[in-house]
Amino acid sequence: MTDENTAPDGGLTAAEQAVLDEINEQNVDFLRLQFTDILGTVKNVAIPASQAAKAFEEGIYFDGSSIEGFVRIQESDMRLQPDPETFAVLPWRTTETGKAARMICDVMNTSTGEAFEGDPRYVLKKAIARAENMGYTLNAGPEPEFFVFENDEEGRATTTTHDVGGYFDLAPKDLASDLRRQIIYNLESMDFEVEASHHEVAEGQHEIDFKYDDALTTADNIATFRSVVRATAANNDLHATFMPKPIARINGSGMHTHLSLFDESGTNAFHDDDDEFNLSGVAKQFLAGILEHAPALTAVCNPTVNSYKRLVPGYEAPVYIAWSDVNRSALVRKPAARVPAASRIELRSPDPSCNPYLALAAMLHAGLDGIERGLEAPDPVRENIYEFDETKRDEYGIDTLPANLGEAVEALEADEVVQDALGEHVFPKFVEAKTQEFEEYIVEVSEWELDNYLETF
């Protein structure tokens, strides 16, 4: 018997043929074949929909040397292999002549015919395979936040917020409610299950939450979500950004990520009815792994210079390596769960500038390391850590996350587990890019420095 992902005679699989049928039914005339570079930037190659069968059978070739962190010029030919399970019509790209759709691709090495080790999607697939070998499947649920700004008369982005609403505000203060509604409609048309949306704490800041899924689907969804939000905003002459801290002295944008492991029987391996926190031994070992590798994880989950303008005390973003079941000042929180299947932990440090494939791969490897080594989670901290002084933090054994991208990269270079998550190709390329970014940043002179020092000294 042939399953939908196996071609019976070397031709198209059932899933691929279903895509061709939908292309005809939906009057799709162009396809965007999407992938991401090491830094998480979405790239795409557009082809006429008439070439879809050829793309499935032969792939689409491109110059990998032009993509950040992929390959050297002398080994540049790469191939995109579309994943038919990711086909979706782009709701904002409908014209009189037809529609556009996208498929997310795996990047293949043309010289070997195998998956390219520098493809972030492949990095996550390897992490997923490691978990499966241990009998687990990772489910992840992100909470991506973003800002919406006005454009100037020339169409360039400003930092003038589109509205002056606050946390959970309603119209008329929350002028972006119609925009959020459009975003949700577009997401739902692409088969997202949106669970909630609301105005966030800062003016112009918003959050839209979609249902958790397996790790690969979630990473694909995060990449798609960012594209949908930006495109919908642009169609309204606005600019949406996932920059972690676009405005000084207000809350930044995070992407709290909920994590849980399910075993081969489909049971939540993180749940234990008899535990005070309803967390199993496996969950606590996974949590301990996250805490132990938190400094190195920060380089991957908070990968920009700007990320560390958010990770400062006083703005709700976590900086202390601890966990809690009752407050949000800790790095990891245990949310309340109404049913056993909902037991999970929430890592609160990631921000939406991260490469979702690399970030989830790193989180998964860190947690699995905790399970493999039988690490013991510390006691939860139920007090507000923001109110602790240094002496009290030392008493509780609470360390802090790296203070800047340079420190985070140093932590990554000292952590073999997170290095292994990234792989032999991505790790050195990632470190090279981030080291260069930080070095460029530290030699720059900011407006703040000019304002405070130019006439004073």
Q: Are 320 and 385 in contact (CB under 8 A)?
A: yes
Q: Give the residue among 18, 97, 5, 85 at the shortest CA–CA distance from 53.
A: 18
Q: Which two tokens stand for residue 316?
A: 């709700």
CA distances from 282 to 114, 193, 359, 367 (A): 34, 29, 21, 9
Q: Are 306 and 353 in contact (CB under 8 A)?
A: yes
DSSP secondary structure string for all residues of 398-452: -EE--SSHHHHHHHHHT-HHHHHHHHHHHHHHHHHHHHHHHHHHHT---HHHHHH
| Rg of the chain (C-alpha set) | 23
**In sequence order, which residues have a C-beta less than 8 Å from that of residue 444 and are 6 or more positions away?**
none
CA distance 207 to 353: 15
Give buried/exposed letters for 386-423 (b at 16+ CB in 10 A, else e).
eebeeeebeeeebebbbebbbbbbbbbbebebbbbbbb
Q: Give the residue among 250, 249, 269, 248 at the shortest CA–CA distance from 260.
A: 269
What residues are labeled active site? 63, 143, 145, 200, 207, 256, 328, 346, 348
Q: Give the residue among 8, 152, 12 at the shortest CA–CA distance from 84.
A: 12
CA distance 384 to 369: 29
Q: Give the residue among 268, 272, 287 at the shortest CA–CA distance from 375.
A: 287
Give SS3 for 50.
helix
Contacts within 8 Å (CB) and 24+ apart, 369-372? 369/289, 369/292, 369/293, 369/417, 370/285, 370/286, 370/287, 370/288, 370/289, 370/290, 370/292, 371/134, 371/282, 371/285, 371/286, 371/289, 372/134
Give the number of other CB atoms < 10 A from CB of residue 46. Answer: 10
Tell me which H or E stretch contains 248. Answer: none
CA distances from 91 to 53, 102, 229, 376 (A): 22, 11, 12, 48
DSSP state, residue 134: T
Q: Give the residue among 357, 350, 346, 222 at the shortest CA–CA distance from 286.
A: 346
Q: Give the residue among 319, 268, 262 at the shortest CA–CA distance from 295.
A: 319
